[in-house]
Amino acid sequence: MIETINLNKRFGKLQALNNISVHCQSQHSIALIGPNGCGKTTLIKSILGMVVPDSGNIIFKGKNIKKDYTYRNHIGYMPQIGRYPDNMTIGQVLDMIINIRSFQGALDEDLIHEFGLHQMKDKRMRTLSGGTRQKVSACLSFLFNPDVLILDEPTAGLDPIASEQLKEKIILEKQKGKLILITSHLLSELDDMITQLIFMQEGCLIFHKNIDELRAETGEDRISKAIAYILKNQKA
């Protein structure tokens, strides 16, 4: 579904993406992990077209995204830190995006109801807490029922209940057969959500494996432990 071919991106001295080639297929839920500043967000933003790579190609559903923007119709994106115009209300932001996308199908408003956002529609964005903003971001990413979900640190800043509600929603969508890309530092919460793992370090792709494969290789059941095992062996 999404394929990146030899992506390179440099921010000044920092090589954020170093020859990254991955292939993400539909029906998979993929975790994108790695230490801070390893290039996860850059990769995601490249896929979204928000960062323009120095070289390399990104193919979405068989089409190069360079001259295209309509492919974003199929992507729901939840940013790490959602930034919204300060003096708009939650309702206005949702309405605006719906309006601009001129979306025809049925809206997926499950999360809005679950998070209780419809009760605070008139609150201005600048008055919201970080968690509530994340809720808005989450709702927006699921709203248009997209084929691909890209979630950058989805549970960061959410309270445990909301976090759980979001996870359930992700699992639900995964079961519908959508491609889901998640970055997260909290490896422990990924366990029941993902089927594949992409590990990055200093802009390089270390590996891209199925979870089952990984478990078999390392003999560890939990992802966090499996990663730890790999890192240990790598150093040795």
Partner 1 sequence: MIRIIKFVILDIIKNRIVLAYTLLLAIFAWSAFSLEDTSAKGVLSLLNIILLTVPLVSVLFTTIYIYNSAEFVELLTSQPIKRTKIWISLFAGLACSMSMAFLLGAGIPLFVYAETTLSIIMVSIGILVSLVFVSLAFFSASITRDKAKGIGVSIMLWLYFALLFDALVLFLLFQLSDYPIEKMMVGITASSPIDLARILILLHLDVSAMMGYTGAIFKKFFGTTTGMSIAFLLLTLWIAIPYLISLRIFRKKDL
Our CB check for partner 1 shows the closer of 46 and 163 to be 46
Residues of the shown chain interacting with partner 1 in the complex, contacts defined by CB under 8 A: 11, 45, 48-52, 69-73, 75, 77, 79, 83-88, 93, 96-97, 99-102
Q: Give the shortest CB-9-to-partner 1 separation in angstroms.
A: 8
Q: Give the shortest CB-69-to-partner 1 separation in angstroms.
A: 5
CA distance 182 to 72: 17
Q: Give the shortest CB-221-to-partner 1 separation in angstroms.
A: 36
Spatial neighbors of 235 by CB under 8 A, at least 6 apart, are none
Our CB check for partner 1 shows the closer of 96 and 161 to be 96
Our CB check for partner 1 shows the closer of 17 and 226 to be 17
Amino acid at 174: K
Our CB check for partner 1 shows the closer of 128 and 187 to be 128
Pick from 20, 28, 27: nearest CA to 3: 20
CA distance 92 to 96: 6
CA distance 80 to 87: 21
Q: Give the shortest CB-41-to-partner 1 separation in angstroms.
A: 11
Parallel, antiparallel or unpaired: strands 29-33 and 14-24: unpaired
Q: Give the shortest CB-84-to-partner 1 separation in angstroms.
A: 6
Cβ 98 vs Cβ 143: under 8 Å: yes
CA distance 133 to 87: 14
Q: Give the shortest CB-207-to-partner 1 separation in angstroms.
A: 27
Cβ 114 vs Cβ 139: under 8 Å: no
Our CB check for partner 1 shows the closer of 36 and 102 to be 102
Cβ 64 vs Cβ 101: under 8 Å: no
Enter the tokens of residue 121. 């529609």
CA distance 200 to 143: 29
Our CB check for partner 1 shows the closer of 23 and 126 to be 126
Residue 23: strand, helix, or coil: strand
Our CB check for partner 1 shows the closer of 117 and 214 to be 117
Q: Give the shortest CB-74-to-partner 1 separation in angstroms.
A: 8
Q: How far separated are the first and last CA of the chain, in Å rounded?
A: 36
